[in-house]
């Protein structure tokens, strides 16, 4: 390992990194525009054949473009925020200042998440300590190397301290928590609870993303349309495949509205074809044996629980479609196991959702019907409602929260000359 990602083995090293970063925040302001300029060069540098196979890098290139981030900045920090400085606010004026040092605890299952999380805090002018999960060290290093190359003056690089240490080292998690003014925590229930329970300074702002679940829904007109069905099935397969269905935005259940003349068996046949094709293009390279066991159990339990339940799956654990009826989402299995539930009324299914549900992927022909479903989903705790096939497209707000604004302070100045 080189110096891009440091192996941290003592709380003192972490505290020292925190002090150095805080000094940089105190000494040097950086305007969002300057960050965007480096990000543009970084995005271009990521267009490298060597990185093409890294999941999410194509999206990361788009994310880092000015065209993506500028509208988010303008919405979250204000219309004249790009160059930094004070903005008039009546007789007073406002300026966004960074919180200081932001700690990032990304989930271990999404390759580009350390970088996505980091990018949000950098846009707010912060310095960052990033705990890189052990499984993502190699990928993160390759991506951050590109930043080092394009960030010749070290404008952003000096604001980043990337650390790796064993997840069981509570003392190092504690030291990291003590060193920061804000935190962005991503992950599953266990990891999030553990990090959230750390002793952060009382002024620290802690932002938690996940754990959440996602679902999909289609009205009868959409999935019953034989001409468009295979295209929709490909979209669903894409959403299921990414991140091996372990992301909070991964659909675990698809609700199909019952319709006259619409045969769910025909639909799942098309879905099988789409899953087979997606699997051919993106085969799994490794799997946890416990996940394979869970997939086998999900198949068996589904078919043993109810003789009317049906399922499609190959001899391998590559993918599974469980077909049945009912409005309640089954316990998610992940690992490309999609429950397809036929319901009389999509609204009834949506009314069973709670705040656990992050994203609702939709395929609905009638805009007025979609409007009703979207409002119901919003009332039931859903934070994102999006067209099927785009469920993982990262954007602000995420989990109902803005991404840049929470990590800045709006300082109000009323000039004393008035």
Partner 1 sequence: MSALLEIEQGIESLLTEPPYGVDPQHRHRTLLALLKKELAYACDRNARFRNYVEHWPIDFHVAEEIADLPYLPVGAFKANPPLALIGADDVKRILTSSATTGQVPSRVVLDAATARRMAKGVITIVRDFIGPARRPYLVIDVPENLTTRTELGARGAAIQALGSFATEVVSCLRPGQEADSSLDLDKLLACAEKWKEADVLVYGFTYVIWTQFVQPLQRQGITLGIPNVHVLHSGGWKRLEQQSVTRDVFIRGVASVFGCSADRILDYYGMVENVGVIYPDCDQGNKHVPAFAEVIVRDPLTLAPVKAGQRGLIQVCSVLPTSFPGFLLLTEDMAEVISYDNCPCGRRGTSFRFAGRAPKAEVRGCGNLENTRYRQAQAIGVA
39, 105, 161, 186: which one binds partner 1 (CB under 8 A): 186
Q: Within positions 362 to 391, which residues make up the interface with partner 1, using CB under 8 A?
A: 381
Smallest gap from Cβ 279 to partner 1, in A, equals 12
Q: Mark the segment that binds partner 1 (CB under 8 A) among 12-20, 29-37, 52-60, 244-252.
A: 244-252
Q: Which is nearer to partner 1, 18 or 106 (CB)?
A: 106
12's tokens: 């003192």
Q: Mark the segment that binds partner 1 (CB under 8 A) among 4-12, 60-68, 106-114, 198-206.
A: 106-114
Q: How many CA atoms lie within 13 A of 101 on its CB side?
A: 27
32, 84, 98, 108: which one binds partner 1 (CB under 8 A): 108
CA distances from 344 to 123, 321, 397 (A): 46, 20, 32
Q: Mark the segment that binds partner 1 (CB under 8 A) among 59-67, 101-109, 174-182, 404-412.
A: 101-109
DSSP string, 139-191: HHHHHHHHHHHH-TT-TTGGGEEEEE--TT-HHHHHHHHHT-SEEEEES-HHH
Asked if residue 161 lies in contact with residue 172, where contact means CB atoms within 8 angstroms, the answer is no
DSSP annotation of 301 reads H
Q: Give yes or no for residue 107 binding partner 1 (CB under 8 A).
A: yes
CA distances from 88 to 33, 74, 78, 79, 412 (A): 19, 15, 11, 11, 10
Smallest gap from Cβ 203 to partner 1, in A, equals 26
Mask 326-365, x = binds partner 1 (CB under 8 A)? Answer: ------x-x-----------------x-xxx---------
Q: Give yes or no for residue 312 binding partner 1 (CB under 8 A).
A: yes
Local structure of 273: helix, strand or coil: helix
Q: Give yes or no for residue 247 binding partner 1 (CB under 8 A).
A: yes
Smallest gap from Cβ 208 to partner 1, in A, equals 10
DSSP string, 59-117: HHHHHTSHHHHHHHHHHHH-TT-TT-S-EEETTEEEEEEE-SEEEEE--TT-TTHHHHH
Q: Which is nearer to partner 1, 182 or 324 (CB)?
A: 324
Q: Mark the segment that binds partner 1 (CB under 8 A) among 25-33, 36-44, 55-63, 312-320.
A: 312-320
Q: Mark the segment that binds partner 1 (CB under 8 A) among 195-203, 239-247, 254-262, 368-376.
A: 239-247
Mask 271-310, x = binds partner 1 (CB under 8 A)? Answer: -------------x-xxxxxxxx--xx-xxx-xxxxx-xx
Q: Which is nearer to partner 1, 67 or 289 (CB)?
A: 289
Q: Which is nearer to partner 1, 296 or 374 (CB)?
A: 296
Q: Within positions 187 to 216, which residues make up the interface with partner 1, using CB under 8 A?
A: 187-191, 209-214
Smallest gap from Cβ 399 to partner 1, in A, equals 9
CA distances from 289 to 184, 292, 296, 301, 351 (A): 30, 5, 11, 18, 35
Q: Which is nearer to partner 1, 83 or 331 (CB)?
A: 331
The CA distance from 256 to 397, in Å, is 27
Q: Within positions 116 to 145, which residues make up the interface with partner 1, using CB under 8 A?
A: 133, 135
Smallest gap from Cβ 255 to partner 1, in A, equals 16
The CA distance from 144 to 206, in Å, is 25
Smallest gap from Cβ 133 to partner 1, in A, equals 8
Smallest gap from Cβ 314 to partner 1, in A, equals 6
Q: What is the dihedral of CA 172, 174, 175, 181, to 10 degrees?
A: 140
DSSP string, 340-403: EEEES-HHHHHTT--TTEEEEEEE-S-HHHHHHHHHHHHHTT--EEEETT-TT---SSBTTB-S
Q: Which is nearer to partner 1, 82 or 340 (CB)?
A: 340
Instruction: For residue 70, give every residue at least 6 positions away whose Cβ sits within 8 Å of its Cβ, in sequence order, or none.
Output: 36, 82
Closest CA to 14 of 129, 108, 132, 112: 129
Q: Which residues bind partner 1 (CB under 8 A)?
A: 107-110, 133, 135, 186-191, 209-214, 243, 245-250, 252, 284, 286-293, 296-297, 299-301, 303-307, 309-317, 332, 334, 352, 354-356, 381
């Amino acid at each position: 390992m080189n110096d891009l990602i440091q192996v941290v083995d003592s709380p003192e090293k972490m505290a020292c990194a925190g002090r150095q970063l805080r000094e940089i925040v105190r000494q040097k302001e950086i305007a969002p525009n300057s960050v965007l300029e480096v990000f543009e060069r970084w995005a271009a540098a990521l267009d490298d054949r060597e990185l093409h196979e890294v999941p999410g890098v194509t999206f990361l290139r788009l994310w880092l473009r000015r065209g993506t981030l500028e509208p988010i900045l303008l919405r979250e920090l204000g219309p004249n925020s790009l160059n930094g400085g004070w903005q008039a606010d009546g007789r007073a004026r406002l300026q966004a200042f960074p919180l200081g040092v932001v700690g990032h605890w990304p989930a271990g299952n999404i390759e580009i998440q350390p970088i996505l999380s980091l990018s949000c805090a950098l846009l707010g002018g912060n310095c960052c300590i990033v705990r890189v999960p052990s499984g993502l060290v190699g990928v993160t290093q390759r991506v951050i190397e590109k930043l080092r190359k394009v960030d010749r003056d070290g404008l952003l690089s000096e604001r980043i301290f990337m650390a790796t240490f064993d997840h069981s080292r509570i003392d190092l998690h504690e030291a990291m928590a003590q060193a920061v003014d804000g935190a962005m925590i991503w992950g599953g229930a266990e990891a999030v609870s553990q990090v959230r329970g750390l002793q952060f300074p009382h002024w620290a702002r802690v932002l938690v993303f996940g754990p959440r679940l996602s679902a999909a829904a289609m009205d009868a007109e959409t999935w019953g349309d034989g001409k468009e069905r295979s295209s929709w099935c490909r979209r669903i397969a894409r959403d299921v495949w990414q991140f091996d269905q372990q992301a909070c935005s991964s659909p675990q259940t698809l609700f199909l509205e019952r319709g006259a003349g619409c045969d769910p068996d025909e639909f799942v046949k098309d879905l099988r074809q789409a899953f087979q094709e997606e699997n051919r293009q993106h085969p799994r390279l490794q799997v946890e044996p416990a996940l394979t066991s869970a997939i086998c159990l999900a198949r068996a339990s589904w078919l043993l629980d109810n003789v009317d339940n049906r399922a499609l799956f190959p001899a391998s654990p590559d993918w599974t479609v469980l077909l049945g009826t009912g409005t309640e989402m089954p316990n998610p299995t992940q690992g490309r196991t999609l429950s397809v539930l036929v319901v009389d009324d999509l609204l009834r299914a949506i009314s069973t959702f709670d705040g656990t549900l992050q994203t609702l992927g939709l395929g609905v022909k009638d805009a007025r019907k979609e409007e009703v479903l979207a409002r119901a989903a919003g009332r039931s705790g859903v934070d994102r409602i999006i067209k099927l096939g785009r469920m993982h497209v990262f954007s602000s707000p995420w989990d109902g929260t803005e991404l840049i604004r929470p990590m800045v302070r709006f300082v109000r100045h009323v000039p004393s000359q008035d």
